[in-house]
Amino acid sequence: MSIRPRSLHERSVHERGLRRRSIVPVLRMRGRSIDEKGRVSTPLELLFDLTFVVAVASIVAQLAHAVAEDHIATALPNFLMVFFAIWLAWLNFTWFASAYDTDDVPYRLLTMLQMGGVLVLAAGVPGAFNDEDWGLVTLGYFIMRIALVGQWLRAAAQDEPGRGTALGYAIGISVVQALWIFRLLVLNDLPFAAQVAVFSLLALCELAVPLIAERKRRIAWHPHHVAERYSLFTIILLGESVAASSSAVQGVVSAGAATGEFVLIAASGLALLFGLWWVYFLEPAHEGLEKHRSRSYFWGYGHYLVFAALAALGAGLEVAVESIGHELEVPVTVVGYAIGIPVAAFFVMMWVLYRPLTGPTVIPPAVSLGAAAVVLLLPLAAPAISLGAVVLLTALAVAAAVAATVLYRRVPSPAPAPAPPSTSAAG
C-alpha cells in the first residue's frame, strides 16, 4: 500500500501538533492558514505585551507631569512621536506573528530581542520628553526593528510563495531605519518644529512600507487573531489609565486630602474607563476583518489614534485626581480638556474605523459625533461646576452613547418595499 505524502496544510497541522506536545527547536517558517481554528494569542505574545506595559506607563507619566505643569504645547508632539514608536513596534510584531509565528527557538530568541528593545525605548522616554534626547529611544527602536528584519529574512528564505513580500518588508524596514539613525546623528540639532516635521516625514515612510511590500502579494494574517491582539492592547491601555489614576489616588489619600470632590473624580473616572471599554467591544472586529480583508490597512494603522487617545486619557485622569489638594499651574479648563479631547477622539475614530468594516450596525454617526461634541463642550463649564462634575458628565455622556447604540440595534430595520408587478411579456 502506497503512502500519500502530506499536503502543505497537513504538514502545517502536524507541526502545530508537535508544538503543542513539545517545543521543536527549529521549524520551517511558512505562512499560517487564515482559516486556522481556535487561533488565539500565544503565551509568548502575552509576555511580549508586558514590556509595552512598562513603555506605556512611562509615557503616560511624562504626559501627566507636562499637563500638570502647563507644558502641554511642547509635550504633546513628544508624546505623539514616542507613542508612534511604541505602537508601530507592537503593530508590526503582531501582524508578522499572525502570519508566520512558528514558536520555535529562533523565533522566541528574536522575540526576546524585540522585548529588550522595548525596555530600552521605555528607559529613553524621560530624556525625549524633558531634554529632547532621542538617543535611547532610537536605540531601542533600532533593536526592535533589526530583530523584526531578521524574522522577515527568515520568512523570505523559508516561505517561497511569500518570498517577495517578505524581502520587501525586510528592505523597506532597513531603509527607513537607516533614515532614523541619520536623523539622530545629523539632524538632531534642528529646531523643534523642524524635528517634528522630519519625524512626520519618516513616520509616513514607515506607513508606506507595507503598501509597497504587499503590492503583489499580501501576508496571510488571521482575522480572529489580529482582532484579539488589538483588543488585548486596548485593555492594556485602559489598565494603564486605571494604574495611573490609582497612583494619584494613593497620593491624595496619603496626604489626607480626600474630599467629596476627590471621590467624585475617582468614581467617575472608573465609570468613564468602563464606558469606553464597552464602546470598543460593541462590535466584534474579526467578522469585519474576515469579510473585508482589503480594508485591514486602514483599520489596523488607524488604531494609532484610538490607542494614543486611550493613553492620553490616562494622563488626564491622573492630573484630575492630583488636582485635589494640590495647587496646579494649569487652569482647570485645560485639565478638563486633557480628558475631553482623548474621549472625543476615541469616539470619532471608532466610527471612522469600524464603519467600513461593519456597515450601519456600528455605533451610529449621530451618537458617536454627538457624544464627541458634548465631551468637548463640557470642560468649558469646569470653572463653574467643578472638575469632578465635568468628569461625571463625561462618563454619563459615554454611558448615554452606549445605551443609544444598544437601543438603536434593537429597533428592527424597515422591510423593503415589494417590487412592482412586471409588465413585460415574460412577466
In a domain, 24, yes or no: no
State which of 163, 180, 213 marks the end of a domain. 213
- According to the model, what pLDDT value does residue 73 have? 84
In a domain, 418, yes or no: no
- According to the model, what pLDDT value does residue 343 have? 97
Q: Which residues of 290-311 are buried (b: 16+ CB within 10 A; e: fewer)?
A: bebeeebeebbbebbbbbbbbb
Check whether residue 179 and residue 248 sit in a common domain. Answer: no
- According to the model, what pLDDT value does residue 287 have? 80
In a domain, 31, yes or no: no
Share of the chain above pLDDT 70, in %: 88
What are the pLDDT digits (tens) for 184-228?
998 878 888 898 999 999 999 999 999 999 998 888 889 899 999
Structural domain boundaries, residue 315: 223-410
Could you tell me if residue 40 is left (phi over 0), alpha (psi between -120 and 50 degrees) or otherwise beta?
beta
Q: Which of 200-204, 257-261, 338-342 has the lowest mean pLDDT?
A: 257-261
pLDDT at 234 exceeding the cut of 90: yes
Are 339 and 320 in contact by the 8 Å Cβ rule? The answer is: yes
Q: How confident is the model at residue 19 (pLDDT cuts 50, 70, 90)?
A: very low
What are the pLDDT digits (tens) for 97-151?
999 999 889 999 999 999 999 999 999 988 888 888 889 999 999 999 999 999 9
pLDDT at 10 exceeding the cut of 60: no
pLDDT at 291 exceeding the cut of 80: yes
Check whether residue 352 and residue 240 sit in a common domain. Answer: yes
- According to the model, what pLDDT value does residue 413 have? 52
- According to the model, what pLDDT value does residue 31 have? 84
Q: How confident is the model at residue 425 (pLDDT cuts 50, 70, 90)?
A: very low
Check whether residue 59 and residue 194 sit in a common domain. Answer: yes
In a domain, 7, yes or no: no
Check whether residue 301 and residue 165 sit in a common domain. Answer: no
Q: How confident is the model at residue 176 (pLDDT cuts 50, 70, 90)?
A: very high
Check whether residue 387 and residue 238 sit in a common domain. Answer: yes
The average pLDDT across 301-318 equals 94
DSSP string covering 124-158: THHHHHHH---HHHHHHHHHHHHHHHHHHHHHHHH
The average pLDDT across 90-102 equals 93
- According to the model, what pLDDT value does residue 2 have? 39
What are the pLDDT digits (tens) for 341-368?
999 999 999 888 888 777 665 677 888 8
Q: How confident is the model at residue 70 (pLDDT cuts 50, 70, 90)?
A: confident
In a domain, 18, yes or no: no
The tally of domains found in the chain comes to 2
Check whether residue 227 and residue 208 sit in a common domain. Answer: no
Check whether residue 261 and residue 206 sit in a common domain. Answer: no
Average pLDDT over the chain, rounded to an integer = 85
In a domain, 118, yes or no: yes
Check whether residue 205 and residue 248 sit in a common domain. Answer: no
Which candidate, 200, 153, 164, 165, places its Cα nearest to that of 179?
200
Are 227 and 303 in contact by the 8 Å Cβ rule? The answer is: no
The average pLDDT across 150-175 equals 94
- According to the model, what pLDDT value does residue 258 have? 65
- According to the model, what pLDDT value does residue 345 have? 96
Which candidate, 333, 338, 421, 341, places its Cα nearest to that of 382?
333
Check whether residue 321 and residue 343 sit in a common domain. Answer: yes
pLDDT at 4 exceeding the cut of 50: no
Give Cα 352 to chain centroid, integer Å.
Answer: 15
Which candidate, 30, 2, 83, places its Cα nearest to that of 312?
83
Q: How many CA atoms lie within 13 A of 82 on its CB side?
A: 37
pLDDT at 24 exceeding the cut of 90: no
- According to the model, what pLDDT value does residue 366 have? 85
pLDDT at 18 exceeding the cut of 70: no
Share of the chain above pLDDT 90, in %: 53
- According to the model, what pLDDT value does residue 361 have? 58
In a domain, 5, yes or no: no
pLDDT at 16 exceeding the cut of 70: no
Check whether residue 143 and residue 278 sit in a common domain. Answer: no
- According to the model, what pLDDT value does residue 340 have? 95
- According to the model, what pLDDT value does residue 403 have? 92
What are the pLDDT digits (tens) for 371-420?
999 999 999 999 999 899 999 999 999 999 999 888 877 665 554 555 55
Q: What is the CA radius of gyration of the chain?
A: 24
- According to the model, what pLDDT value does residue 111 have? 95
Q: How confident is the model at residue 173 (pLDDT cuts 50, 70, 90)?
A: very high
State which of 183, 213, 243 marks the end of a domain. 213
The average pLDDT across 324-330 equals 75
Check whether residue 199 and residue 254 sit in a common domain. Answer: no
In a domain, 336, yes or no: yes
- According to the model, what pLDDT value does residue 165 have? 94
- Whole-angstrom distance, CA of residue 17 vs CA of residue 33: 14
Place of cell 508590526: 92
Q: How confident is the model at residue 22 (pLDDT cuts 50, 70, 90)?
A: low
Check whether residue 239 and residue 92 sit in a common domain. Answer: no
